[in-house]
Structures are given as C-alpha cells and as structure tokens.
Structure 1
Amino acid sequence: MLKTLGAQIKEFKRDSILTPVFMIGEVIMETIIPLLMASIIDNGVTAGNMNHIYLIGALMVGTAVLSLAFGILGGQFGSRASTGFARNLRKAMYENIQTFSFSNIDKFSTSGLVTRLTTDVTNMQNAYQMILRMCMRAPASLICAMGMSFIISPRLASVYLVAVLLLAVVLGLIVTQATKHFTQAFPKYDALNESVQENVSAIRVVKAYVREEYEVEKFRKASGNLYKIFCKAESIVIWNNPVMNFTVYACILTISWLGAHMIVQDTLTTGQLMNMLTYCMNILMSLMMLSMIFVMITMSLASARRICEVLEEKADLGNPEDPVKEVRDGSITFDHVSFSYKKEASDPVLKDINLEIKSGETVGIIGGTGSAKSSLVNLVSRLYDVTEGKLSVGGVNVKDYDTESLRNQVAVVLQNNVLFSGTILENLRWGDRDATEEECRHACEMACADEFIQRMPKGYNTYIEQGGTNVSGGQKQRLCIARALLKKPKVLILDDSTSAVDTATDAKIRKAFAEVIPGTTKLIIAQRISSVEHADRIIVMNEGQVDGFGTHEELLENNEIYREVYEAQTSGSGDFDE
C-alpha cells in the first residue's frame, strides 16, 4: 500500500523533503528562545546588566523571526506537497478507471468510485499534510524539550517523564477506541452518495411515482447512520482536551511548587524555572499533536485501502505483445464460444455458440429477455473476453487485436443510450473528433435524425443537457446511431437501438443502412420481428444458446419459437417473453 501511494508523490518529492526540514528548524528555534529568556532574567534583569538584555533581546528577536520564516516555509511547502499528492491520486485513479473492462467496472459501485475520488482523497490529503508537518514537529519538539529539561534539572524533568507516560497511556486508549468507529464511517459515505446519485439521476421517475418522501427517508437514514458513527468517535476523541488540560495544569502546579523550593535552596534560578514551565507546555502540546496525528492517520487508513483498491486493479483486457492494428473486414466467427460474467460461475451465460457471419451481412438477433443477446454482441467489440472457445473478427482472434483499433472498427450503440452535456455536434464528434459538419449532417440523415435537428432553434449547435434529458427517447437513439455511423466501422452493432422510434422511421433507417453502408456488417438486436425480417439472416437466442439461424422464411418453416412469436406479433400481440 505504501509503495502504491508513494508512487503518486512524483514531482512533489522536493516539497515533501523540505517541509519536515523547515518544521524541525522551527522547533529548534522555539527551543532556543526559552534559553535566551532565562539568560535575560538571570544575567540581565537580576544582575542589572542592560547591555546583556539588549544583546540577548536582539538574539531573541532574530530567533523568533527565523522560527516564523521556517513555519511559513514549512506550511507553504507542506500545502503544495499535500495538494499535489491529492491531485496525482485523483488523476491516477481516474486514468486507471478509463482502462477498466466491463468486468473490472462491475467490481465497484458508481457511488463507491465517486467517494474514493472525493472524500477518500481529501482524507489522504489532510493526513499527508499532517504527516509532513506535525509528524516531524511533534516528536522533535518533544525530544528537544525533554532533553533541555533534563539538562536544566533532572529532578524537575522527572515530573514531565511521569506525566508523559501517563498521558501516552490515556491518549493511546482514546485513539484505539476512536479508530474502531472512524474505520466504519467512511464506507458509509458510499451509501450516502448512492442515495443522492440515484435520486438526482432518476428525479423524473421519483416525481412521476410521488416517491419524494421515500427518497428523503432513505437519505435521512444514510445520513443518520453516518452521524451516529461520527458522534461515537467524536465523543471519545473529545476526552483528549480535558485529559490534556488536567495534565498541563497538574504539571505546572507541581513544577511551580518544587521549583520554588529549589530556588529558595539556591539549586535553581528563576530563569531556569521559567524555562521548565515553557518546556512543560511544549512537551504536553507535542503529545496532544501526536494523539491527533494518530487519529487522523487511522481515519485515513480506510481511505488509503479503498484508493489502493482502484489503483491496483488491473484491466482484465490487455493487448498482446505484437497486436494486430488493422481490421481487414467485418466477418465474424464464433467457434464454440462460451461466456460467464464471473469465472467461478457454474452456469455460463452463453453456451457453445457456433456462428459464421459474412462481411457486409445484415444479421438480426432476437430472443426473450435474459436470452443473452447483449452478452453475445458485447464479445464482438471485446467489452468482455470469451470464457471458452474463439471469437474472430476479420479472420483474426479478437484477443490478438490492439483493443483501440478493434473498437474503432466495431461501433456499438448500446441498449442504454447515453448523450453527454454539450452541443449536438460535440456529441456526434465522439464518433469522429475530426468530422466536418457536413459529415455529421450526412450521418444524421442516415439515422433519420436530421429532420428533428433542423427544427431546433440552433440546429446542430443546440445544447444537449446532461444525459440527453431535453430530447426524447427516440431522438436520443437516432443521435446515438448517427454518432456510431461517423466512425465508419467495419461492424455496426445496434443493441435494441430503435425500440423508441416508430415503425416507419425504423424502416427508413434500415433502408439507409442497406444503400449507404452495404459493406458494413450490421448486427441488429430487436424485439420486433418486423425490424429484422428483411435482414440477410436472423439469429434466434434462447437461454444463452442459438436456437435458430437462417433467413426469415427458413425460420418460419423450421423454428418453432420464431414462428410462434411471428404469428403472435402479426396478430397484434406477443413477444419473446411469452
């Protein structure tokens, strides 16, 4: 874990080294000041030597200025190092998430990733700054003050030693008990973020079903759980101050009592007694800082582990040593392919699939809900890897391709259409960042999207809200199809991507595909047989297996499932789930 996190310090190593150096310098200056003060009292005020007072006073001013300068520099370098460390953590996590395959992403919840990128990184930033500054300052101050105390008066310094030992035991108990609660707190942020995320993203559904009170109650429960855990932790940490104050005042009283007797006996000077009282505060405040450091570090340990989980997660899908970077054509071959989302699953989602699709063919894929239609096409663009068998595109095993090159030639319009905030042109250029407006217009004409875009006030410069909330479901689907067409792919996969458009528009889109991109292999998942009956061939999926593969006429004659659904749909009802 330390190695993983330490690798993200990178260009802030110099700041991370200079911060503790300046903090130690500040401690040394603060340790010298009481010695100078004692010298003024004993050799200046008591002896009536004004020259000594002026000289030592000037030295005290210089020492105080140096202490201030060291403190400012330590704070500046520490802030730069900790904020830079946090920036690098966020960047490294975000970049690593971009490399994840679908199977990697399935291991983390969206809210969990958001918490790691925000709350957990902030905890690490605060902890790192405290480590650089206080972890050096507190022990150094404790050691210097204790050392000087024993030099001045071992008898009085033994009071500090007893106080330090007792205080260390008490603070150790406080930290141990508080840690148990803090480690439980941060995972609760996931539940809180999940509640907010679901409510905001699905606010229309919430209002449509009048579930505002239910959502408020769910958020209140998640927030309440977090509140209870932090209250328990803070109720333990709060003992820190009274215990510390009791120890400080007890030490001051004891030192004053014993010191007064020693002054009367001429074994201690007034200046030395003032020194001891000053060092008393230094020692006990150092202990207080150490206790807070332990609490902060303990709090951040849970965050550190969660961040490392993301940083150390390796993408399941990688490129071979010498990847193929050119997809020859759009032919697809499934050779005894089986697939499971989890390796340990006993029952595969896809079972022994054998298919051969020619380049340029239009192939329909139909089947009931849960028949693994989407799972089948997700393997083509290598969003997942096959568990058994071999899948080839353009005559080459998909595992031998450069992943980016393969996906650039296999365009997928997923079942859940996603548009990003920005103009229509900006969304379309996700397919081809260098596409001209004319090319975008041509793709939209093929997808029957140009007709509604032209009716918008700003045309192709119309702003799309996040998630495409200001366009209808059918318009969103057509924009996503146009975006995929701009890639000029060898294989085009439409995963139930025309379900929200009317039958006439669906027919226009299919006709445009046949006329404009005849060389592109088209895989069309649909629920309506009318959407695929004109395809060159149709795959009938049933419980993860290919139940039939042929033309519309062949399936009507030979496939019972297809025939029953066709008859039911042409009579006005029926689908593959019945």
Structure 2
Amino acid sequence: MIKLFRFLYPYRISITIVLALIFLQALSDLYLPTLMADIVDTGIVKGDIPYILRIGGFMLLIAAIGMICSISASFLSAKISAGFGKLIRNRVFTHVENFSLQEFDRLGTSSLITRTTNDITQVQQVVTMMLRMMISAPMMCIGGIIMAVSKDAKLSLVLVIVLPVIAAAIFAVVSKGMPLFKAMQVKLDKLNLVLREGLIGIRAIRSFNRIDHEKRRFDEANVDLTKTAVKVNRIMALLMPVMMLVLNFSSIAIIWFGSIRIDSGDMQVGSLMAFLQYAMQIMFSLIMVSMMFVMIPRASASAIRINEVLDMIPEIKDPVQIKHADSQRGCVEFRKVTFRYPGAEKCALTDISFSASPGEVTAIIGGTGSGKSTLISLIPRFYDIDSGSILVDGVDIRDMSQESLRGKIGFVPQKAVLFSGTVAENIRYGKEEATDQEIRHAAEVAQATEFITGLKDGFDSVIAQGGANVSGGQKQRLSIARALVRRAEIYIFDDSFSALDFKTDANLRMALKEEITDSIVFIVAQRVSTVMDADRIIVLDEGRIAGIGNHRELMDTCEVYQEIVFSQLSEEEIA
C-alpha cells in the first residue's frame, strides 16, 4: 500500500496542516485531565471557588480549541482521501486504456471494474482513518503514558501488564484476518463476473429458460462471498470485546490500587482521576489502532490488486523511434505472418502473405474458427504477431505509433458496440470534429437514414446503454456510419453485414463502392453473396490460406471455397 502513497504528493501541504491540527488536538486532550486534577486537588479540597471558575473557564477554552482542530482535521482528511481516490482511479483507467487485448484477457473485465471501484474505495477509506487515527493514536498513547507516569510511577505498573495483552490480541486477530480479506476480494470478482454475465446475457438466459440456473450460479458465488465475510467479521468482532474487557479490568485495577495509595497518603484524589483518564486515553488510542488493523488487511489486499494493474506493462508499446510512410502509401501487406493467442496450443494463423492496394476490396471468408476475425484484428495491432511482418504504407506497424496507425483505420467490429448518447454522438465518435452534413452523409451511405428519420428526434434521438433500444441491423448500420465518417485510408468490416437483409446488404455494398474508391477495404463475411464482387477473396482454412483470387478463379482452383459456395447458393445463382 505504501507504493500508492505517491499519489498523496499533491496534497502534502494539506497533510502537513492535518498533522499540525491533530497534534494540537492531542495536546488539548492530554492537558484537560491535568486541569481537572488541579480543580479537584486545589479548588475543591480548599474550597477556592474563584480558582475553580478560572481553571474551569480555561478548560472550556482548551476543549474548544481541541474541537475546532478536530473538525478542521476531519474536513481536510476527507478532502485529501477523496482527491487521493480520484487520482488513483484516473491513473488506473488511463493505464488500462493502454492495455492490449492480451492484458484484458489476462485480468478480466469484471476484475478490472472491481479494482477500479471497490478496491480503490477500500484504500481511500483507510487513508481517511490513517490521517485521523494513525497519527493521533500514537500521540495519545505516548503522551498518555508520559502523563500517567508523571502522576504516579508505581501505579503505572498496571499499564506494563495490560499493554502487552492488548498488543498480542491485535496481532492474533490481524494475522488470522489478512488471508481472508485477500480471499474476499477474489470472491467479489467472481460475484461481479456472474452478475455481469447475467445482466448482459439476459436475452439468451430467458430464451433458453435458464433463469433458475443463473440464480443458482449467483447464489453460489454470493454464499461463497458471504461465508468468507462472516468468517472474517467473526474474527474481527472478537477484537472489540477483548479490548473492552481489558479496558474495564484495567479501570478496576487502577481504582483498586489507586485507592490504596490515596489511603496511604501517596496520592491525591484528583491525581487518581487524572491517572484514570490518561489510562483510558491510552486504551482508546490502542482501540483506534486495533480499528486500523481491522481495515488495513483488506486495504492492503486491495492495494496489491491495484498495484498489479499499475505495474502491468502493456506488451504492445509504441517504438522509441517512429517511422513514417514512404512512397508505398496506401498499401497493406502481410509477409509470412504467424500468430498464436497467449496460452493456446496451436497457431491461430500460420504463414499468411498477401497485399492490398487502394481502391481494392479484399474479402476474407472461411469456416468458423478459421481465423478471419483474428487476421483483421492484427492490422490495427490489437495483438502483436509472433513472426513475420505487417506493413501499412510501407512501414512495419510495430515501427508506427498506435495512434497514427489506428488514425488511418475505420473499424467496424463483429459485435456492434454503441454508447449511451444521441445517434449523432455515436456517429461522431468516429470523428470528433465531424459536421452535421458529414454525419448525415455517413448515415446515408450506411443505409441508416431511413430508420434514423423514423425516430422521434431523428439524429438527436437517444441511444440507450449498449444500444438496447435499437435492433441488431440498426446497430450495425450505425457502427458502419461511425467508421465511414472518418474518411479513413483503410476500412475493416468484421462480419458487419450479418444482421442486414439481402436488399440492405446489396444497397450498402453498392454505396460503399462509390464512397471508398481511394481506400483499402477489408470485408470479413459469412455470406458468399457479400464477397462475390470483391477484387480479391482470401479463403482461410484452419488458420492457413487455402486460396486467393476473385470469385471465378477460386471456383476453379479452391476446393474449400467451392464447398462454401455450394452450401449457400443454388445452381442458378452460381451460374
């Protein structure tokens, strides 16, 4: 957790002020019992009313100063911890944005969400307590011991017996609780994963009538987390009764032995009262420390998980020396590319070589799992290849900055993704400075204008989270419009026409021809009708190229392509 304290640096002046305020509060708390002892031993015993009023008024002033210091310290510490949490969340989010898909696959989306929310909140709460308790508790404890010894050194022997008992209780509880807190955070990840899957996949769950199954999954994860939480809370709950038991027995011992010393004339009543208060301050300071030790194990487990994210170095990084395009501008070339997913037994793609030039449409087709989506995901460098090279504009993409590379690409993913906001905002996501005219033109080419104008507010109509209030085909058309508004050098359509009817598909492809005459176009498709007119068709089979050519050439030379065609088209359509 100490590594995260670097985020407190911007608040160093505020922290200094908090420490000063807490120091003043501790001094006022430590001074009050001595003043009370003076009132009893001098004012009450001697019947000196003016002395009682004078010292009593002074006590009120000291208490007021302590109260002001306490309120100010609480306000500043809350402000510091909130800013501390904000900085960490911002840093984690910014760092995660630089991750490649490999890091996302390794950590998991649900775990990243938990780490960015729950884990940071745990650390933030501990920072608040540390600023208040971790500083004031040692001050009160050490100051209380000094003041107690000054009142009666022999009676202080009671504390010599009590303090080790309390320290042993704290150590025993914390050593048992720390592993359980770590386990709780992992089980919270699992609960979030089940919950997220249940909410995102609600349509599939209902269509297959698996609601009871998902309830059981959630109950299992929930009960598992609950059992661990109950177990750790039982352990932590032991601490307070033990502390209170020791506290009460200590009070009894102090009063018992103090009364003996008063009876023998070695101590005054006011001094015993002050000593008892100092003893209580020492005990309560240790109780505050114990409360810290209850929270620190969980916060430490959370801090480890946060640091795991921050310490993770993205495997895909920009080169030190960035190369720029040469005379081969507008060309994409694969040279003997081989790629294997992390942890996979076999390569997803093997020895892939081809090139594509501006004005050409390159279609990629093949069976399920043949590597179509994998191939086109390598162009924007979502993953790094194992061997070979991919050149864009004559430059290896590993020698280009990720921003400049992806700035050349208009990408439409296999699963259409929309964001909460208006239709216009979703299309403008592809080009932030796009004008209203450019947005309308992109929508028209994507065959989306008809359904957009049919909406209540047209382009200002609100899209729900995840595009829940539009159909699959409408999502795809908006995703295509978002890519088209970029006026990119390279367009990638990853099975982006699958939810469109044949008429819309044909109209869209016809409009695209006129729109992207100077761009390189990659189309991944399942339908033969979508790729038949492409300038080049790449047929993949188990991660290898089974054939390259146009439709006619492949019908004569590629058996895999023939099988796909015969499975989809009638003899009249083939002819």
TM-score using structure 2 length: 0.96
- The residue type paired with residue 34 of structure 2 is L
Is contact 1:40-1:52 (8 Å) kept?
Answer: yes
Name the structure 2 match of 1:368. Answer: 367
Q: What is the match of residue 143 of structure 2?
A: 144
Matched residues, number: 571
CA distance in 2, matches of 1:414, 1:329: 25
Determine the C-alpha separation between the residues in 1 that align with 2:5 and 2:498: 50
1:496 shift after superposition = 0.5
Instruction: Indicate if the aligned counterparts of 2:555 and 2:561 stay in contact, CA closer than 8 A.
Output: yes
Shift of 1:30: 0.6
Q: Which residue of 2 aligns with 1:311?
A: 310
Q: Secondary structure of 1:341's match?
A: coil
In the TM superposition, what is the alpha-carbon distance from 1:329 to its structure 2 partner?
3.5
Could you tell which deviates more after superposition, 243-252 or 484-493?
Answer: 243-252
Contact 1:329-1:490 at 8 Å conserved across structures: no
CA contact (8 A) 1:331 1:360 kept: no
Match of 2:134 in 1: 135
Partners of 1:445 and 1:545 in 2: CA distance: 37
In structure 2, the residue matched to 1:575 is: none
Structure 2 letter corresponding to 1:440:
I
Which residue does 1:200 correspond to in 2? Answer: 199
Matched residue SS, 1:348: coil
1:321 has 2:320 as partner: yes
Q: Aligned ranges for residues 170-249 of structure 1 at < 5 Å?
A: 170-249=169-248
Paired position in structure 1 for 2:330: 330
Letter of the structure 1 residue corresponding to residue 151 of structure 2 = I
Tell me the CA shift for residue 354 of structure 1: 1.2
Deviations 1:369-398 (A, max 9, x none): 111111111111111122111110111111
Counterpart amino acid of residue 18 in structure 1: I
Cα offsets for 1:116-160 (capped at 9, x unmatched)? 111111100111111111111111111111111112111110101
Listed as ranges, the gaps of 5+ residues in structure 1 are 573-578
Q: 1 CA distance for matches of 2:256 and 2:504?
A: 96
Query: What letter matches 1:523 in structure 2?
Result: F
Aligned to 1:576: none
Residue pair 1:326, 1:405 contacting (<8 A) in 2 also: no
Q: Report the equivalent of 1:511.
A: 510
Residue-by-residue CA offset, 1:445-483 (whole Å, 9 max, x unaligned):
211111222222222122111111111111111111111
CA contact (8 A) 1:330 1:360 kept: no
1:340 is aligned to 340
The amino acid of 1:413's aligned partner reads V
Secondary structure of the corresponding residue to residue 248 of structure 1: helix
SS in 2 for 1:156: coil
Please report how far the alpha carbon of residue 205 of structure 1 lies from its aligned counterpart in structure 2 after TM superposition. Answer: 2.1
Deviates more, 1:348-357 or 1:28-37: 348-357
| Structure 2 partner of 1:162 | 161
Q: Which residue of 1 aligns with 2:276?
A: 277
Q: How far does residue 324 in structure 1 lie from its aligned partner after superposition? A: 4.2
Distance 1:324 1:464 in 2: 40
Task: Give the drift of 1:419.
Answer: 0.7
Residue by residue over 1:233-265, the C-alpha shift from the partner in whole angstroms, topping out at 9 and shown as x without a partner, is 111222222212221221122111211111121
SS of the residue 2:548 aligns to: strand
Q: Secondary structure at the match of 1:34?
A: helix
CA distance in 2, matches of 1:265, 1:7: 57
1:265-297 per-position Cα deviation (integer Å, ceiling 9, x unaligned): 111011111011111211111111111111211
Query: In 1, Cα distance between the equivalents of 2:169 and 2:389?
Result: 64
Is the 1:532–1:538 contact (alpha carbons within 8 Å) kept by the matching residues of 2?
A: yes
CA shift, 1:357, in A, is 1.6
Instruction: Give the distance between the partners of 2:204 and 2:350, measured in 1 at CA.
Output: 37
CA distance 1:203–1:352, shift in 2 (3 Å): same
Answer with 563-572 or 88-97: which moved more.
563-572
Match of 1:286 in 2: 285
Deviation at 1:359, TM superposition (A): 2.1
Q: Distance in 2 between matches of 1:263 and 1:10?
A: 52
Alpha-carbon offset, residue 11 of structure 1: 2.1
Q: Specify the code of the residue in structure 2 equivalent to 1:312.
A: D
Looking at structure 1, the residues matched to 306 and 195 of structure 2 have their Cα atoms a distance apart, in angstroms, of 21
The amino acid that maps onto 1:336 is: K
Q: Is 1:251 the counterpart of 2:237 in the alignment?
A: no
> Are the counterparts in 2 of residues 44 and 53 from structure 1 also a CA contact under 8 Å?
yes
The answer on 1:522 being equivalent to 2:521 is: yes
- The residue aligned with 1:121 is 120
Matched, 1:37 2:2: no
Change (3 A) 1:232 1:465: same
Contact 1:325 1:406 in 2 (8 A): no
Q: CA 1:403 to 1:90, structure 2 compared with 1: closer, same or farther past 3 Å? A: same
Counterpart Cα distance in 2 of 1:569 and 1:210: 31
Amino acid at match of 2:483: A
Secondary structure (helix, strand or coil) at the match of 1:7 reads helix
Aligned Cα root-mean-square deviation (Å): 1.7
Amino acid at match of 1:495: D
CA contact 1:333–1:354 (8 Å) conserved in 2 = yes
Q: Deviation string for 1:323-355 (max 9, x for gaps)?
A: 24669733111111111222x655321111111
Amino acid at match of 1:269: Q
Task: Return 533-542 or 468-477, whichever deviates more.
Answer: 468-477
Partner secondary structure for residue 507 of structure 1: helix
Name the CA distance, whole Å, in 2 between partners of 1:2 and 1:270: 46
Aligned mates of 1:373, 1:264 — CA distance in 2? 94
**1:401 equivalent in alignment to 2:400:** yes
In structure 2, the partner of 1:485 is 484
Partner secondary structure for residue 479 of structure 2: helix
Shift of 1:403: 1.3
Q: Which amino acid aligns with 1:493?
A: I
One-letter code aligned to 2:424 = L
State the shift of 1:414 in Å. Answer: 0.7
Q: What letter is aligned with 1:56? A: I
Q: Counterparts of 1:364 and 1:242 in 2: how far apart (Å)?
A: 72
Report the CA distance between 1:71 and its aligned residue: 0.8
Consecutive unaligned residues of structure 2, counting only runs of 5 or more, are none
Q: For residue 492 of structure 1, what is the amino acid of its counterpart? A: Y
CA distance in 2, matches of 1:305, 1:240: 25
Match of 1:352 in 2: 351
What corresponds to 1:445 in structure 2? 444
Counterpart of 1:539 in structure 2 is: 538
SS at match of 2:351: strand
| Structure 2: distance between partners of 1:494 and 1:224 | 44
Label 1:36 to 1:325 Cα distance change in 2 as closer, same or farther (>3 A): farther
Q: Given that residues 424 and 460 in structure 2 are in contact (C-alpha distance below 8 angstroms), is that contact kept between their aligned partners in structure 1? A: yes
Contact map agreement 2:261 2:267 (CA 8 A) in 1? yes
Q: Which residue of 2 aligns with 1:52?
A: 51
> Which AA in structure 2 matches 1:270?
V
Return the alpha-carbon distance in structure 1 between the equivalents of residues 6 and 99 of structure 2.
20
CA deviations over 1:200-234 (Å, ceiling 9, x no partner):
22222222222222222222222211111111111
